[in-house]
Amino acid sequence: MKSRAILHLDMDAFFPAVEVLDHPDLRGQPIIVGGSCNRGVVSSASYEARRFGVHSAQPMRTARRLCPDGIFLPVRMSRYREVSRKIFKIFKRFTPLVEPLSIDEAFLDVTASQRLFGGPEDIAKKTKEAIFIGTGLTVSAGVAPSKFVAKIASDMDKPDGLTIVTPDKVRAFLDPLPIKKMWGVGEKTQRALHRLNVRSFRDLSLVSVELLERQFGQQGVKLHSLSMGIDDREVVPTRVQKSLGSEATFSEDIVEIQEAKKQLLLLAHRLAHRMRKEKTSGRTITLKVKYADFVQITRSRKNAEATDDGAAIYSTACSLLERTDTGKRPVRLLGISLSHLSQPGPGEQISLLSEPEESQKRRCLNQAVDSLVDKFGDRSIQPAALINP
């Protein structure tokens, strides 16, 4: 059986790279993109900032301590999505088998593309070149006969790297790697493996499957296979998105419930715009509240019909807020998400004739708002309650 050719493509420090793209004077600076002030977390850091120990998911307070002269910027998700769409269009020039992992990385199965574009290494080079020409950004690539090995390979030579692992070199590539490089192995599993004297991929491959199954269940069996590069998972082009959300961490704790509702209004309309942009709607609305002491709770409601309307999302979120201690306990973060998503089928069109008059008015209003936001930005039009006198 012919070996598969899988690419894992991972954009280099994507959020900071887009900021440099838009503001060239930032090039070479330690850029940290994330939550406001000291309250949020780092979403992404440039390689210059990473030299100071800054990394994603780190508290912004820690990042400021490690890199006091860093350039701290807010997340501009709409801009990053815009660039991401261009990148994924380039991916699809080389194969229809593109499986997104996130906004800035994907697997590509190019097994059947070699007749048109050359071998896997050639395809990886052509893809990297096309992305740089099309966007001005760099991407690191891993090429291997499986998704697991390709993902590890893409991380070996960042930024702008290219690592090729041919089928006959898989074990030689994996054997010396530390076990922490294994995708999906967290600190707890690492400690448990260390107790079995497992420090490298080779160590893990030499442990009996029976022992690993006793210690870790089916996960142990899977880890044993992965340690030898055995991964038969297909590249799946259509990943079903399960939820969409919007959240904010506040520079000062919210203590009044009316202020919390004002913030929910902003989040609801941002989320609704994104839902309509992605041509989806959701039935289940979930409110997330994180208190000042970092205790986090969620409250959900499943509605009879799916919605992409900001007013409807906001109304439900406010009723869910009443079931929390907001107003009694300081709040540092609020978030709203929609799940049980639905999308119109191919060629399906929503008929205004079957809608109540009020729904027609809401739909037309939302279309007008979306048009203005797309043209002038999300601050160009917003509910009156959000406009400071």
Q: Give the residue numbers annotated as catalytic, written as ranges.
A: 105
Distance CA 210, CA 121 (A): 38
| 197: amino acid identity, one letter | N
Taking the CA atoms of residue 235, residue 240, residue 246 and residue 247 in that order, the dihedral angle to the nearest 10 degrees is -70
Tokens of 156: 């070996």
What does the DSSP assignment read for 243-299? EEEEEEEEEEEE--HHHHHHHHHHHHHHHHHHHHHTT-EEEEEEEEEEETTS-EEEE
- Sign, CA dihedral 23-28-34-35, equals negative
Q: Are strands 71-73 and 31-34 parallel, antiparallel or unpaired?
A: parallel
Q: How many residues belong to the chain?
A: 389
Please tell me whether residue 23 adopts helix, strand or coil conformation.
coil
Single-letter residue type at 127: T
**Which among 88, 170, 99, 160 is positioned nearest to 125, based on CA atoms?**
160
Give rounded-to-5 percent helix, strand, coil for the chain.
45, 25, 30
Sign of CA dihedral 159, 6, 241, 349: positive
Specify the 3-state DSSP secondary structure of 334. strand
Enter the tokens of residue 113: 């593309």
HSE-up of residue 314 (Cα within 13 Å, Cβ side): 18
| Beta bridge pairs of residue 45 | 32
DSSP conformation letters of 300-314: EEEEEEEE--HHHHH
Nearest to 163 by CA among 140, 188, 137: 140
